[in-house]
Chains A and B, each alone.
Chain A
């Protein structure tokens, strides 16, 4: 990748992250959601569970990352990096592109550690 392309990718990522942070600022964590919104968040997060385990709890010793041990911010940042190509992957760069930044925010808040 050329320096110019890398720079552009970084700029895009930081812009995307800034957007996500704004979303987080106005969003609500899982425990504050209405039951109806919480159900939708749970079902959206469940689309990760096929590979990453129910509620982000993978089987012990799994090579696939268990998401429940990661922070909200880490999940969001890395999903954006998968989308932009900043973080290379075998499959996550293809799957991450199927989720909007808002959906990523909901999933990260539902599965990730809050502190």
Chain B
């Protein structure tokens, strides 16, 4: 990690000396921007607001953690292929390389009229523009018994990478051979569409090598695999037959942490040994509490050209909290891509220019299916002024032809580059 940062810093210094177009542009942009949440969306927005304004905008990032832990690649930690430190990056690069002011705290309230945010420590921060990237809220109360089972540590989600990722790995290591790991998929939309299918594959990969009598039971509330379906099912057939069992149309309604039992809407209860139960999800709590998650109290509606909230002027919402445009996934890559659209729009607006009328985003999502083989899904999305939303470009995008090792190499290198692009 230190070596990588050193190299990054040297690359940056070289670029500065070499006169590369590092800080692009708008020396005329003036004002204060507060960014809430240091995930793929918020951290990227903070960095690019500084870069695209030629370091003119005053940018503060409010984030309670001191280290970024990546959700993409966290299934490799669950599967035992990587360690948590390999998917973690400190926030220090944002301040050192870009002059982003870090505030290690939570925002408890937004005052849209006064343009201030209130911190948990009691202080308030004023803003001209606010970027809200609060991720997701796991609705534990939607599944009976889940909140208590999570609090006691009996049933984890590990759907926000960090301590629970390590905790779930420990549960799998402690499970005797012959046990059953139960993972469910909530009804779409949820964070990272292929994520549960990748996780099931990674755990099956671990069982196949180290606990061959054990089983993965993957229970999907959806009618079919929601992403890369043919590719995942092909791998389960060729690599994990007898280990991984997939059952669609099964909606989890309750759990018992002590007896490790899962209950369903229609089917008989099932007992397992390690339970990994994912509830329905909605926009991050702050977006819900502030009314900015205005669609069914669940997702935030935005004007897609600038990602400005339809109910809170000067508040731009990005990442998983946003009501997705058609075929726009809730992914880290997409949050990074949206953040750049918002950064450019804010820099333009604060320079007195019109924002770009046809912003573009893209998504590339890699899933590991064995230790070395990977599959991807990719898409390109352009803003359509007539339909007022992002649409995928006709003929673009697609999935891997088959699982392959070359993309295994690319996937890990994608991670290194997007972490640097987001945080260094």
Contacts and interface: CB of A to CB of B under 8 A. Distances in A.
B116 interface: no
Interface residues of A, number: 37
Contacts of A95: 362, 364, 378, 380, 396-397
Contacts, number: 146
B410 A90 contact: yes
A110 to B, nearest CB: 7
Indicate the member of B347, B378, B404 with the most A CB atoms within 10 Å. Answer: B378
B336 A50 contact: yes
Task: From A35, A44, A68, name the one whose CB has the most chain B CB atoms within 10 angstroms.
Answer: A35
B396 A42 contact: no
A83 B253 CA distance: 47
Contact of A43 (B20, B52, B424): B52
B143 to A, nearest CB: 34
Nearest to B7: A60
B2 to A, nearest CB: 13
Interface stretch (A1-9, A17-25, A97-105): A97-105
Contact of A38 (B25, B396, B418, B424): B25
Given A42-B21, A90-B410, A98-B362, A57 B15 contact: yes
B7 A63 contact: no
Given A52-B417, A57-B15, A94 B337 contact: no
A94 to B, nearest CB: 4
Nearest to B22: A55
Contacts of A103: 360
A41 B347 CA distance: 13
Interface string B366-406: 00000000001011111000000000110111101000101
Interface size class of B (residues with CB under 8 A): 35 or more
A42 B52 contact: yes
B341 interface: yes
A35 B27 contact: yes
Interface in A47-65: 47, 49-55, 57-60, 62-64
A103 B25 CA distance: 18
Interface string B43-64: 0000010011000000000000
Contacts of B410: 63-64, 90-91
B361 interface: yes
Interface string B191-211: 000000000000000000000
Contacts of A14: none
Nearest to B28: A35
Given A91-B376, A91-B378, A98-B396, A59 B4 contact: yes
A30 interface: yes
A80 to B, nearest CB: 14
Interface in A76-115: 90-91, 94-99, 103, 110
Nearest to B395: A97
Which of A43, A59, A60 is most buried by chain B, counting CB atoms within 10 A of its CB? A43
B217 interface: no
A50 B380 CA distance: 13
B295 interface: no
Contacts of A51: 364, 414, 417-418
A54 B362 contact: no
B364 to A, nearest CB: 6
A64 to B, nearest CB: 5
A16 to B, nearest CB: 14
A64 B4 contact: no
A43 to B, nearest CB: 4
Contact of A39 (B12, B333, B344): B344
Contacts of B378: 91, 94-95
A12 interface: no
Contacts of A63: 409-410, 413
B340 interface: yes
Given A38-B24, A90-B407, A43 B343 contact: yes
Contacts of A91: 364, 376, 378, 407, 410
10 contacts: A36-B348, A40-B344, A40-B356, A43-B359, A47-B361, A50-B418, A60-B4, A63-B413, A91-B410, A98-B382
Interface of B: 4, 7-8, 11-12, 15, 20-22, 24-28, 48, 51-52, 333, 336-337, 340-341, 343-344, 347-348, 351, 353, 356, 359-362, 364, 376, 378-382, 392-393, 395-398, 400, 404, 406-407, 409-410, 413-414, 416-418, 420-421, 424
